[in-house]
Structure 1
């Protein structure tokens, strides 16, 4: 049995499938906010006796921005159409330059919905369809701004699950199963406010407050100057008070931002008759819901920033085909920054494993001391270069002190410490059906990649690695970063380890560890790979 809407659409020629409009409520919502944008200008004219340019220019800019934005959205509504066919999602838009985009439905990786406050007041949503690698040419996300909440839910179900889910929903069947993997814990606020961005946030808040006060004729600088006799306190106490005050304001601002962004956060797995999706939902003033196709997940990556590692802080991302972790989108992020213990527990549940069998619960094999010697060599070389450069500048520029080169010498302990930290971060292992690699100095990343997702290997030895008996093994994949490296492994075990991960893929190289500086690459077929990735080749 098939839903009537699906029957009509599938049996109708593509040319006869009607085009749909965006919801018209976006017009009057924008009109209302355009009127509200005029309020600051009106208040400034009423409150200030003789408003100057410093008062009028900002408020007029806000008013003009609101009116122009409303007019732009009205024209966009007039000129935008979209439709769904059996194979494509199509969008037509543009006033002077008309655009017609068509995305193949089998390429869809994520479907997300967002809603700012103005959308929520009107019952609207912004639907974003993620296709292919974000940012890649021809694979930019398709966005519908805005449709009704009901339409957004129907489009999401249809794009992710197809007609079978629609049937189950229309025949009174049981709702799809839902397993909650994580909910927001407000103790996570502490992991998200200790950052240099707190000072940047404070600077923005202070500037905004000062501008707002000036717009209404209030002397904010004079008010602060009159609070305390700053001359009596002296410069050191004044600086300390200013630093603490600005820092506290920044921490408060970041805490408020975290709460509003992650309000009611949930990570759930929703099972349907046609598959499953991994869903995150969050937001107070601006809601966001991201749905990821579970069948395209290939693993999980947990990153621990160096400066906050003492807090046990971690970022958690999924490794999925069609989604790059560097895309700076919420599609790969499945948890707010939080404790490493929670990240490991959630990762195990996402991978559908017991906590004891999780790739993140098993100690990894450490890399040899030769890898440490290599990093110490690099640290020493960098220190020597910096010291020499500073000594040269000190002798060349008379205004610089002659002891400037000592700063470079002082960097040596820090560089050696960084070398040790980077070496201790190295690790690799094979845990069940997952290849696990770990590396990183600034951010220690542990990636668990499903063995079937490995479509090729890249073996590399530099001249120094060859002298130290080391080699770097890189697994290539159609998911995530595209490659995951185990740097500076013992050269004698590289090929054998690769054979354990994917038996037969390195058969031409068994017993032949690469000894040339050039890389050696072998690729195998994968259902997620392009025809180019399905080749088998050797370079070097």
Structure 2
């Protein structure tokens, strides 16, 4: 008995018959095609395999990883023992690993099938454990197309299809790799574009914004360089800790170096080296992520294309857009720059544990001049003026500023107490460290507390609730009133004494909730009642 072409691997009954959309031009087996309807006909559906070059793509990727691990490992073994020992141990392991990559790619190509029907998309995969996955097309929220350098050379792409639901991996389908043309047709068809037959995939849509190299000047003003520099110090400390018998030689070399050139040059290099690495690393990461950036509006969809080595294409359906968030890191804000994020449903991704996590897929505009960010926000929301550009935000009460100043002084006092305890317990040097810290931290924290209070504000207009808060990363969110599904009112003991409250508008989009922090309790409740009538009012006593 032979299995029909439309039902590979004993697939679900009836999945190969009936009207359906077809995406893919490759047949599920290597037999010669028989006459029949066009694979792009709306009344044709067939199971489609991954591209035959899957074994090449997987093999090259695993080989690159094997080489990246084998080279430094071989160098260490050669220095400790000999070059012969390094080759005997490292080379066979690298060859076997690379061979496993090619074999694994071949197996994935032979065992993975997908089918796009009129109402569902199905995926059959698995070598040892067979998986059968099905997504209803009405629940699909995102279709992201990416291609790393290996896939780009081979003319392939990776497609991630998600529903944005709290269902872990079961709420997504990953196809990798498939031909680039098939990936574009999948993107168009699953998001419901009128040109989903692929006939107009190469048509250029008017760009809302494109990358400007001058935006790179804002990258050093973010936190990324500091994070990379901190990672350099952590790596140096871990290397010194794992040096074993060589640790004393490193310490002796460092002591000799300080004796020869002095403390000042050594300290300057120790500070400037990681700082330079952090700066260069941050610039390289930003260029890789955002080079060739282009934001455009397709039929009912906002599409972001970006990437230098690895190209990425992400889409946000306008019907799922509930607002916009203008994000200003402290350094970039002082330079007049901001980043624009979409507040939309279906943009969260499951991590390895199945939990939903935020991703950079929500970013519509990287760090750019604030004026441009406001213009892009207005265009995205189809408004004459961006709600995030308003200057008439209602400030929050002086009690909110007093609260932040008290926290600043409390932090300084806590730091001084810890320094004093360490000075008594360990060495008097900590008294000096604590004193210098108090002198430096006190004015800095007070300034930050005042800035955090000045950043607080809210506004309610005909269509949007606008909230603003934060100092290290100030965020101005314009949330559509129609997107608010509930309210969360919270008051701590200190807030009750000061007449303040944190009132959060809950929504199915973005982070799930956007707060008016430390707002006057009565005023905040009135704003909530006016924003969505009859939602909160039954629970209030006038």
- TM-score tier (shorter): 0.7 to 0.9
**CA–CA distance in structure 2, aligned partners of residues 158 and 345 of structure 1:** 30
Q: Give 1:127 shift.
A: 0.6
Pick which of 247-256 and 112-121 moved more. Answer: 247-256
Instruction: Tell me, in whole angstroms, the C-alpha distance in 1 between the residues paired with 2:283 and 2:235.
Output: 13
Offset from partner CA, 1:470-504 (integer Å, 9 cap, x none): 22221111111111110121223223222332233
The RMSD of aligned alpha carbons is 3.9
**Residue 228 of structure 2 contacts residue 281 of structure 2 at CA under 8 Å; is this kept in 1?**
yes
Change (3 A) 1:246 1:476: closer
Aligned residue for 1:428, secondary structure, equals strand
Counterpart of 2:525 in 1: which secondary structure?
helix
For 1:205 and 1:378, how far apart are their aligned partners in 2?
Answer: 33
Q: Is the 8 A contact 1:495 1:509 kept in 2?
A: no
Look up the match of 1:363: 392
Partners of 2:120 and 2:292 in 1: CA distance: 34
User: For each residue in 1:55-108, what CA deviation from the matched residue of structure 2 results, as whole angstroms up to 9, or x when unmatched?
Assistant: 876776655543333332222222211112222222222222222222221221
How many angstroms does 1:259 deviate by? 2.5
Q: What is the DSSP-based 3-state SS (H/G/I as helix, E as strand, rest coil) of the residue aligned with 1:505?
A: coil
State the partner residue of 1:99.
Answer: 131
Q: Secondary structure of the equivalent of 1:331?
A: helix
Equivalent position to 1:465, from 480, 492, 495: 495
Aligned pair partner of 2:322 in 298, 322, 326: 298
Structure 2 gap segments, 5+ residues each? 1-18, 24-36, 237-252, 350-355
1:248 aligns with 2:293: no
Note if contact 1:37-1:63 (Cα within 8 Å) is conserved in structure 2: no
Is the counterpart of residue 148 in structure 1 residue 179 in structure 2?
yes
Alignment partner, residue 73 of structure 1: 105
Q: Is the 8 A contact 2:164 2:348 kept in 1?
A: no
Specify whether residues 455 and 481 from structure 1 end up closer, same or farther in structure 2 by C-alpha distance, changes over 3 A only. Answer: same
Counterpart residue number, 2:313: 289
**Matched position secondary structure for 2:361:** coil
Q: Distance in 2 between matches of 1:288 and 1:368?
A: 44
Deviates most, 331-340 or 102-111: 331-340
Q: Which deviates more, 137-146 or 441-450?
A: 137-146
Q: Do the aligned residues in 1 keep the contact of 2:408 with 2:442 (CA within 8 Å)? A: yes
The answer to whether the 8 A contact 2:149-2:310 is kept is: yes
Distance 1:57 1:358, change over 3 A: farther
> 2:3 corresponds to which residue?
none
- Once the two structures are superposed, residues 279-325 of structure 1 have per-residue CA deviations (whole angstroms, 9 ceiling, x without a partner) of 01112221111111111001111111234432233232100012249
> What SS does the corresponding residue of 1:165 show, helix, strand or coil?
coil
Q: What displacement does 1:443 show?
A: 1.3
Give TM-score scaled by structure 2 length. 0.76
CA–CA separation in structure 1 for the residues paired with 2:116 and 2:156? 19
* 1:31–1:386 Cα change, 3 Å: closer
Output one character per residue of 1:380-413: Cα deviation in whole Å (capped at 9) or x when no partner. Answer: 3344444444434444x24464726646744444
SS in structure 1 at match of 2:533: coil
Distance 1:401 1:283, change over 3 A: closer
Alpha carbons of structure 1 residues 409 and 255: separation in structure 2 relative to 1, 3 Å: closer
Alignment of 1:488-503 (within 5 A): 488-503=518-533
Q: Describe the SS at the equivalent of 2:399.
A: helix
- 5+ residue gaps, structure 1: 207-224, 514-540
- C-alpha distance in 2, partners of 1:39/1:375? 52
Could you tell me how far 1:149 is from its partner in structure 2?
Answer: 1.0
| Higher mean C-alpha displacement, 476-485 vs 66-75 | 66-75
Corresponding residue pairs, total: 476
Q: 1:181 aligns with which of 200, 204, 208?
A: 208
Rounded to whole Å, the distance in 2 between the matches of 1:385 and 1:238 is: 32
2:302 to 278, 283, 286: 278
